[in-house]
Structure 1
């Protein structure tokens, strides 16, 4: 090759790399250039909503840009995930979600309006927690054993509500491992199910602690068991469901952040740093302490691998629970 032509090509390649690097740097420096929208798959007052608002407060303090929380409850989070997937890939629309949309729904529904892997770029994990089995304070059942004895005596008579896939699968796992027949009643969100539980329309539910524990503390609900293998720091006197006699019972949940696929890597990196700092902030710490959950952050790659493992795990649990895709 002509030496002069070779040098020209080398110079052109170098300039391209420099230009690309400057462009990527500009993406990160300019972000966020306008208010950020957090899309939440559940209703206001839910655990995910509370966490999103705490994180948003911190990010606003860090960037001086407003963070708007948009609740799109219903259809087990599918409407919210679809809306987030279709948003502009510039980092200004973020899906603050859970295992419901990213690991469970693909096994619960025959057809999703979004792809939990291909439609999103993982940003970071946000937190992990457990759930609490609750009944109305006036319920005759004082323990998991009493509740399940009644369920066995009258199959199909008792009912449990759920407003998320985590809550639904937790209830189905209880049925499976205890050999009981309890009617499932679906809701758009856990707070709505709590309302009917308080009103006596359903008999029990297994809900996230941020939704259930305040009602327990207020004396309106009675906690019978905790869903993970370790007791809740908020309810240390309440046995785990495993301890209460349903051996092998273990069902937690997690929160994470995603942006639409195609979002520039520098923007993802900048958002990741903002969210990691937000998870460590006072508003988020207050949420985790109140909700009885714990902070948990990851790199985007770590979240992708974790999500893949969780999807496989939830698939096995859902299949074993005998839940047919809708």
Structure 2
């Protein structure tokens, strides 16, 4: 008799548990933030700084996992094909979510369609650096030197974003420099410091330590405003080249189809994390500007950036690989 009365109750409880409203609250397991580059770079740094703040807000472990390869496409594809439940995220950047669309024929993913944007994280300028024994100290002098002997100066570019940024500068100033490809920023910066190449346009956080140590000369930054860490360096906009405003950026996206409430919860965690004085200080001390956004704002930004760089690649005749 007792057994017969319990059975209907168990069935009722099981059916209630299956109701969507009783599903496990997100996140119910550790979240993985995939960094599609090797450890030690800017995107990796930003991921590790923000992950701790988000972990505190979500009361769940967040694991930063590096999956480098193919200019970031390997790790980006991994996230695009992951289960859209919010537990696998991508720390995307200007390369993976914009420029790669202009430089690769078959990415395997679409920056606009393969992901649900969560939030922008940070922005930073690029810095124009030259080898220290070049007898010039300004952008104007660099342009004059390049025009005097077209194709003589060599510039190093460890990735498609650096190459396109340099080509945008060359196009705006009507100069021509030779591209020397590199597998990473580290080797290119070492060669610039050693005088093996002449010019490099690189993310501020990567190149500025070399400028501080006087191993490289810094000429200007590519952002709209001067950097608080290097207020003596002019912007290209001040020098009369507003079209070469280039900002490197990082932001979090989830696989397309991730539930809206999950995206909103992740977005709130990002914004709360970036409002922390500790996290803001960690970012700004590296030359990065916290730049939180809504999912919709980040979606629009990605679309505009992709359009910009695809158009530039076509203008300069850069053939996708």
Q: Give the TM-score range, shorter chain.
A: 0.7 to 0.9
Q: Deviations over 1:149-181 (max 9, x none)?
A: 332233222221223433222101111112222
Give yes or no for contact 1:58–1:283 (8 Å, CA) kept in 2. Answer: no
Partner of 1:239: 234
What TM-score comes out, normalization by structure 1 length? Answer: 0.84
CA distance in 2, matches of 1:158, 1:324: 22
Match of 1:307 among 302, 309, 312: 302
Q: Distance in 2 between matches of 1:118 and 1:227?
A: 29
CA distance in structure 2 between the partners assigned to 1:286 and 1:310 by the alignment: 27
2:270 alignment partner in structure 1 = 275
Partner Cα distance (1:72, 1:200) in 2: 32
CA contact (8 A) 1:72 1:79 kept: yes
Q: Does 1:82 align with 2:68?
A: no
Residues paired across the two proteins, number: 306
Q: Summarize the Cα distance change of 1:247–1:282 in structure 2 as closer, same or farther, 3 Å threshold.
A: closer
Matched, 1:318 2:317: no
Q: TM-score, normalised by structure 2?
A: 0.86
Matches of 2:102 and 2:75, distance apart in 1: 18
Distance, in Å, in 2 between the alignment partners of 1:115 and 1:34 is: 28
In 1, Cα distance between equivalents of 2:269 and 2:187: 32
Corresponding position of 1:109: 104
Following TM superposition, by how much is the alpha carbon of 1:88 offset from its aligned partner in structure 2, in angstroms? 2.7
The correspondence for 1:212, drawn from 175, 191, 207, is 207
Structure-2 separation of matches of 1:248 and 1:316:
13
Cα distance change, pair 73–186 in 1 and its aligned pair in 2 (3 A) = farther
| Superposition deviation, residue 53 in structure 1 | 0.8
What's the offset of the Cα at 1:258? Answer: 0.5
SS in 2 for 1:130: strand
1:226 and 2:221 are equivalent in the alignment:
yes
Give the CA deviation at 1:245.
5.3
Is the partner of 2:217 in helix, strand or coil? strand
Which structure 1 residue ranges, 4+ long, deviate > 4 Å from structure 2?
none
**Corresponding position: 1:187 with 2:182:** yes
* 1:172 aligned residue: 167
Q: Residue 113 of structure 1 aligns to a residue in which SS? A: coil
In structure 2, the gaps of 5 or more residues are: 1-14
Q: Is the 1:47–1:291 Cα contact (8 Å) retained in structure 2?
A: no
1:69 matched to 2:64? The reply is yes
Task: Say whether the 8 Å CA contact 1:74–1:189 is kept in structure 2.
Answer: no
Give the distance between the partners of 1:40 and 1:315, measured in 2 at CA.
Answer: 23
Aligned residues of 2:35 and 2:75 also touching (Cα < 8 A): yes
Gaps of 5+ in 1: 1-14
Distance verdict in 2 for CA 1:278–1:186, change over 3 Å: farther
**d(CA) in 2 for partners of 1:226 and 1:206?**
9
After superposition, the Cα gap between the structure-2 partners of 1:64 and 1:195, relative to the gap in structure 1 and judged at 3 Å, is farther
Q: Is the 8 A contact 1:46 1:191 kept in 2?
A: no
Contact kept, 8 Å, 1:42 with 1:189, in 2: the verdict is: no
After TM superposition, give the deviation of residue 34 of structure 1 in Å.
2.8
Structure 1 position 64, deviation (Å) = 4.6
Pick which of 216-225 and 135-144 moved more: 135-144
1:155 corresponds to which residue?
Answer: 150
CA separation in 1, counterparts of 2:224 and 2:317? 23
| Aligned match of 2:36 | 41
The match for 2:281 is: 286
Q: How far does the alpha carbon of each residue in 1:26-75 deviate from its partner, in whole angstroms, 9 at most, with x for none? A: 45x240x3332221233333222111110012123334533332233343
